[in-house]
Chain A
Amino acid sequence: MKVAILQMEGTNCEEESYIAFKESGFEPEYLHINLLKKGMLENYDMIFVPGGFSSGDYVRAGAIFAARLKAKVWKDLKRFVEEGKPVMGVCNGFQVLIELGLLPGTDGISEEPEAALATNESNRFECRWVYLKKFSDTIFSKHVGDKITLPVAHAEGRFLADKKTIEKIEEQNQVVFRYIAPDGSRPDYPWNPNGSVNDIAALVNSYGNVFGIMPHPERAFFWYQHPDWNRVKRERGDGWQIFNSLFREIIEAKNR
């Protein structure tokens, strides 16, 4: 299963992401937007938009990356999503998917953004480990434990949308992970690091194949990347569970 890891000026999580996919049984390939041409996405089974600071976060985080993708391959991207192939974005990649209108995708694909990942309530870059609780079983989360910890590192992660959109997201069970406090209760700052509505940390579209997550699973792929590595015994990092979920739901399911 070939995964296109999109690159552009300023993406900086592609190497960790490449390793995460490779170690999880996928065939990742870097694909730079400057080499991307119409018809090329057909050669891949999955698209991954990594984190970073594409185009220096100018205008808005993810806006330029999204506008360039839209100008180059919007039809191809829409077809990719409509065919049910998985698309995943982490951090800046999540911002890109929102700006594209692929997420929240309450009615499939939207030509205009339906939501925003706005500047954090704290008006600061927030970089720390957060606790997440799973709220929905998808191909990206089915084999993920109920509670996991992952690191966040972003200045623009406050999920916002109008009331109707939020209601629809909740109705359709599109929230995959929410931030929680260490004791599992509803979080205040800093456990909700950005002020996201309904503590939303990760979303899936209504089709179930486009997934965006603000925290970084690829940065918690190995057990030794967790800050409590010498106190808590793990076989794998918590982020691995997301890649493993994809592996089991897509590659293993095909071979069953």
Chain B
Amino acid sequence: MLKLVVVVKFKEGIDDPEGKSITHSLNLLGFENVKRVNVAKQYEIFVDADISKGREIGEKIVKKLLVNPVIHDYELRVEEI
């Protein structure tokens, strides 16, 4: 069994309104030195496949659904479990 970990985050320069809201909230909670928060989405995808195919499957899943290349970057890790 494989575990594909995909982290989808905003590209540098793309506004992250959720991150901004959280930054503001943390400042209000007394963390005045918090300057920026980036929010990312993590998917853990469990796939019944050989480790040699893991990356290829992950890339396809990312391209077909998880990422809009205009606004997102992603990281993909493949683990055998």
Are A116's CB and B18's CB within 8 A? no
Closest to A98 in B: B68
Assess A119 versus B70: contact at CB under 8 Å? Given A64-B65, A67-B64.
Answer: no
A160 at the interface (CB under 8 A from B): yes
The prevalent SS among residues of A at the interface is loop
Chain B interface category by residue count? 10 to 19
**Of A34-42, A80-88, A107-115, A206-214, which stretch is located at the interface?**
A107-115
Q: Type the 1/0 row for B15-36, where 1 means its CB is closer than 8 Å to any CB of A.
A: 1011011000000000000000
Are B70's CB and A116's CB within 8 A? yes
Residues of A within 8 Å of B18, CB to CB, are: 119, 123
| B9 CB to nearest chain A CB (Å) | 13
Assess A59 versus B65: contact at CB under 8 Å? Given A122-B17, A160-B14, A195-B15.
Answer: yes
- Can you show 17 pairs from A to B with CB atoms below 8 A apart? A64-B65, A67-B64, A71-B64, A113-B69, A114-B70, A115-B70, A116-B71, A118-B15, A119-B18, A120-B17, A121-B17, A123-B20, A123-B21, A158-B15, A160-B70, A160-B71, A195-B15
Task: Write the residues of chain A forming the contact surface with B, with a CB cutoff of 8 angstroms.
Answer: 59-60, 63-64, 67, 70-71, 99, 112-116, 118-123, 158, 160-162, 195
Task: Write the residues of chain B forming the contact surface with A, with a CB cutoff of 8 angstroms.
Answer: 14-15, 17-18, 20-21, 64-66, 68-71
